Structure 1
Amino acid sequence: MSTEMLFSYGTLQLPEVQRNTFGRELDGRPDAIVGYDLDYVTITDPQVVAVSGSDRHPILRPADAHDASVPGTVFAISPADLAAADEYEVDAYKRISVPLRSGVRAWVYVFADGI
């Protein structure tokens, strides 16, 4: 089975969101994404709000400062898990592949209009 790396800085780090999205809690390790700032977006999808417990979700936007970074967690997941994460995220997000501070390349969800 192939493994995908997924970086989360927001609600996908929450155990209840992981159980609902992947059917289990994920095992991850701390990392950070460089070159982005944290912002927030209002979620209107009732299912996502119900699962996450909030209509205010963090979102990444490209940073002006070269040393900007956002901490989070990187998870090793299956392609099916990645598809489940795609289903969970709303249209405000798009998935891109980026190198993390550790050097690991991972998928991350960023502001869809920001790249």
Structure 2
Amino acid sequence: MEYLFSYGTLRERKIQLAIFKRLLPMRKDEALGFILSTQKAYGKYLLVQKSDNPKAVLPGAILEVTPQDLIQADRYEGPEYQRILVPLKSGKQAWLYIAK
């Protein structure tokens, strides 16, 4: 099992059903060393950025995903985002989408 960290739309029921055709197991967590950006993708979608503050945390949720789920999520996020592996407050590591 892999983990995907979401700080935005991937936490929404309707989005999960549209992309993955099911609801994903999800629980709250925080990504370490990241913050919300003041910029938005396409003028409306949240973006995150690496923080200069090593104590910065980004609240969100971790989703339990399969490799096929990650492929579906990559398609959903599109070419403006890239997926990177980041540490979480829980001690797990998860994939996180950031702007390219």
Identity of aligned residues (%): 38
Unaligned runs of 5+ in 1: 44-54
CA-based RMSD: 1.3
- In the alignment, is the contact (CA less than 8 A) between 1:34 and 1:67 conserved in 2? yes
1:77 aligns with one of 49, 62, 65: 65
Alpha-carbon separation, structure 1, partners of 2:52 and 2:26: 29
Structure whose CA Rg is larger: 1
What's the TM-score once normalised by structure 2's chain length?
A: 0.91
Residue 98 of structure 1 is aligned with which of 83, 86, 90? 86
Normalized against structure 1, the TM-score is what? 0.80
- Where do 4+ consecutive residues of structure 1 move more than 4 Å? none
CA distance in 2 between partners of 1:59 and 1:42 (Å) = 7
Structure 1: distance between partners of 2:69 and 2:78: 16
Aligned residues: 99
| Separation of aligned partners in 1, 2:64 and 2:58 | 19
C-alpha deviations, 1:20-69, integer Å up to 9, x for none? Answer: 110111121110001111024233xxxxxxxxxxx611111111222111
